[in-house]
Amino acid sequence: MNKLLATLIAGLFATSVYAQTQAQSTTSTGVPATSTATGMTPATGTAVTPAAGTTVVGTDATGTSGMAGQTAASTGNASADKDIAKANEKEAKEVAKQDEKISKATAKANEKKAKAQHKADKKIADANEKVMKADPEDKAKASAKAEKKIAEANADAHETMIKADEKAQKKIVDANADKAKAQNKAAEKTAKAVAEAHKDAAK
């Protein structure tokens, strides 16, 4: 009886230890943070009411990729540290350059869309005004004519906005690709510099 009890206690203890080990293992295994080179957000300060189906293009021009703006840990090798610093500086400049292109493309697209919306609003207002001024017997005819003009005004604005978005998106995609290339180049130079530092240290 005592042996059976001891066996049960030992089994429960082993199960408890295993469960705690599994829980600690799960807790300590974090999911690495992911980043995206093409994370885009609407530009601030531009209030545009786009036509249905269009979006205000933009991106977060404050974000940088790779190691730009970061201070790499010293390798203990002056030459390697210098190479790493130069690589990071070059990447930071390229990222800033591409961010500026993205910002300009976004601003230009939003400006075109705002003008298109303003033009459509004016046409719609003019059409509605003519309906209001029309004689009672001509109201129905004026209203039908106004509906056609309003539909055309909205369609024209919509088309302009789509083209503005398309043009800006192409520039943004190209800029983000160049930022990714700069990041990759900096990472490559950094890895080579660290490898050289380790090689020198092993001599």
Per-residue pLDDT of the chain (203 residues; tens, 9 = 90+): 444 444 444 444 444 434 444 444 443 333 333 333 333 333 333 333 444 444 444 444 433 344 444 445 677 788 888 889 999 999 999 999 999 999 999 999 999 999 999 999 999 999 999 999 999 999 999 999 999 999 999 999 999 999 999 999 999 999 999 999 999 999 999 998 888 888 888 77
Classify residue 57: in a domain, yes or no. yes
Classify residue 34: in a domain, yes or no. no
Classify residue 180: in a domain, yes or no. yes
Classify residue 36: in a domain, yes or no. no
Classify residue 35: in a domain, yes or no. no
Classify residue 162: in a domain, yes or no. yes
Q: Which domain holds residue 129?
A: 41-202
Classify residue 26: in a domain, yes or no. no
Question: Can you give the pLDDT at residue 73?
Answer: 65
Q: Counting beta carbons within 10 angstroms of the beta carbon of residue 167, is it exposed (0 to 12), middle (13 to 18) or buried (19 or more)?
A: middle
Domain count, the chain: 1
Classify residue 22: in a domain, yes or no. no
